[in-house]
Amino acid sequence: MRYAHIVGWGCYLPEQVLTNDDLAGMVDTSNEWIYTRTGIRERRLANEKETTATLAFEAAARALAMSKINPTQVDLIIVATSTPEFVFPSTASLLQDYLGARKAGAFDLSAACTGFIYALSLAANSIATGAVDTAVIVGAETLSRITDWQDRGTCILFGDGAGAVVLKGSDIPGGVLATTLRSDGSGGNLLSLYNGRGNAVPHYGTSYLNGHKSTIHMNGRQVFRFATSVVPESIEEVVEKAGLTMDDVSLIVPHQANQRIIDHAAKKLKLPPEKFFINLDRFGNTSAASIPIALCDAAKEGKLHPDDNLVFVGFGGGLTWGSAVVKWNVTPPPISPMRRQWRRARYVAARARSRVRQLARRLLAWIAGSPTPDARLKDADKRPEE
């Protein structure tokens, strides 16, 4: 039996801050309304050069640096996201290229705000079976690009960011002890992002298709009700599955959606609020990125100690929800600035290698006389309209 341990973690938040007061200048709302309903004070927004893959890269590079694992040792990369650059290639494949992780398989995972828990579960199980040894799991989002900035019911909630962990197999018991994953697709229309291609599920109805742009659509009340009912249940279930009791749990790192949802869970489980780590006041809801970002902050604040039992709990669109229990084993030593520079140099080299491979592909195509992708596009332009 192999155990999947978290051996590195990292996060990246864009610099630009959008406060509740800024939002009050954009839609009919106020700092007071947003803060009392959600606990959020501000969130971060990606700049025009930043994409989900670049945010994911920054977080993953930091997690790898901490773990002292080279990208070439990584077997598997999973990016949980609802805001991928493309349907394909996956953001995970872009990340694999940026990292120069030449031996890694890579794919994106779609489970909305529960995506990080799903990714953690899949990767940990792959390590436990011996199928892979080292995995990089990322939650990364640029939600600002799918937010309707005129809809005060949703635009106040979301933010951009990325968080990552490195999982590694070990014979030492610990790491990811248990996970539970759930879905209830009958509630899919409560929180959705339509892809705009005219093929939405028939039972969502034509009013859904006509009324919605490719921005987040949410029934806040219903989602709130769903979250408050599944979060405590899911925590209890996973703790029991891990063979522990609530007294054994040191810290719960929940999906950072809403302070009131977390307060409700604490009350229902009869736990003190301090058992729940919260940083949503500064970053809002960053969907799949929120748990690993919160984990990074908890580590930074000295809230994680060797042998602590941590619980992660996520919930969101799908509807999906899930939890994980992790035994925290490591306090990695700090990385020297020299080593950091060396790692950055490797990533520059990885980009250069990627460019060279692209050029080589073009050159070979030219020698073989086969059309390049550009030539094919030009051909398509010449074809008469049907």
Residues that bind ligand COA (CB under 6 A): 29, 33-34, 37-38, 113, 152-153, 156-157, 218, 220-221, 223-224, 257-258, 285, 315-316
Indicate the residue among 16 and 30 with the shorter CB distance to ligand COA: 30
54 vs 228 by CB, closer to ligand COA: 228
Q: Which is nearer to ligand COA, 109 or 166 (CB)?
A: 109
Cite the active site residues. Answer: 113, 255, 285
- The residues, any chain, with a CB within 8 Å of residue 233's CB and separated by 6 or more, are none
Which of residues 116 and 315 has its CB atom nearest to ligand COA in the complex?
Answer: 315
CB of 223 to ligand COA, least distance (A): 4
- The Cα 338–Cα 156 span in angstroms is 41
Of 281 and 308, the one with the shorter C-beta distance to ligand COA is 281
Could you give the C-alpha distances from 130 to 127, 173, 177, 325, in angstroms and in order? Answer: 5, 15, 16, 20
For residue 238, the minimal CB distance to ligand COA (Å) is 18
Q: Which is nearer to ligand COA, 219 or 250 (CB)?
A: 219
Min separation Cβ 296 and ligand COA, Å: 20
- Cβ closest to ligand COA, residue 71 vs residue 254: 254
Question: What distance in Å separates the CA atoms of residue 132 and residue 137, rounded to the nearest whole number?
Answer: 13
CB 121 to ligand COA: min, Å: 18
Smallest distance, Å, CB 382 to ligand COA?
Answer: 47
In the complex, the smallest distance separating the C-beta of residue 172 from ligand COA, rounded to whole angstroms, is 35
Do residues 350 and 97 touch, judged by C-beta distance below 8 A? yes
In three-state form (DSSP H/G/I as H, E/B as E, the rest C), the secondary structure along the chain is CCEEEEEEEEEECCCEEEEHHHHHCCCCCCHHHHHHHHCCCEEEECCCCCCHHHHHHHHHHHHHHHHCCCHHHCCEEEEECCCCCCCCCCHHHHHHHHHCCCCCEEEEECCHHHHHHHHHHHHHHHHHCCCCCEEEEEEEEEHHHHCCCCCCCCCCCECEEEEEEEEEEECCCCEEEEEEEEECHHHHHHEEECCCCCCCCHHHCHHHHHHCCCCEEECHHHHHHHHHHHHHHHHHHHHHHCCCCHHHEEEEEECCCCHHHHHHHHHHCCCCHHHECCCHHHHCECHHHHHHHHHHHHHHCCCCCCCCEEEEEEEECCCEEEEEEEECCCCCCCCCHHHHHHHHHHHHHHHHHHHHHHHHHHHHHHHHCCCCHHHHHHHHHHCCCC
Q: How far is the CB of 167 from ligand COA (least distance, A)?
A: 24
Cβ proximity to ligand COA, 153 vs 187, nearer residue: 153
Is there a contact between 3 and 325 (Cβ–Cβ < 8 Å)? no
d(CA 118, CA 314): 9
Task: Tell the smallest beta-carbon distance from residue 312 to ligand COA (Å).
Answer: 14
Residue nearest to ligand COA (CB): 220
